[in-house]
Amino acid sequence: MNIDKEVELINPKLEYVDDEMITVWDDCMCFPELLVKVKRFKRCVVYYKDLAWKDNFLELEGDISELIQHEYDHLDGILAVQKALDERSFKIQIK
């Protein structure tokens, strides 16, 4: 992952700080022109090991928190389309 610098996340684990959620139009390279309305936690902490196998964590909020939750879902085989709020939570993005 590249935030301000490159960060390798080995064996990441997510923890949600509280119950506050945000609703976003999520996009994914799996479906390049599709946007999906989903709910994600506003804040999270990701615990991980770095390349030196040292324990680390990042406290994330907002867009970057949403992004890490999206990517973490992929590790479990979950796509944004499976998290759609309802059947009206899809739209095509024309570029």
Tell me the domain boundaries of the chain: 10-92
pLDDT digits (tens, 9 = 90+) for 16-59: 999 999 999 999 999 999 999 999 999 999 999 999 999 999 99
Residue 51's φ and ψ, nearest 5 degrees, are: -65, -25
Out of 61, 66, 71, 87, the active site residue is 71
Residues 6+ apart with CB under 8 A from 11: 48, 49
87 is an active site residue: no
Question: In this structure, what is the dihedral angle of CA atoms 39, 41, 27, 63, given to the nearest 10 degrees?
Answer: 140
The gap between the terminal CA atoms of the chain, to the nearest Å, is 26
Q: How far apart are CA 6 and CA 84, in angstroms?
A: 30
Question: Is domain 10-92 in CATH 3.90.45.10, yes or no?
Answer: yes
- What is the share, in percent, of the chain residues with pLDDT greater than 90? 92
pTM: 0.91
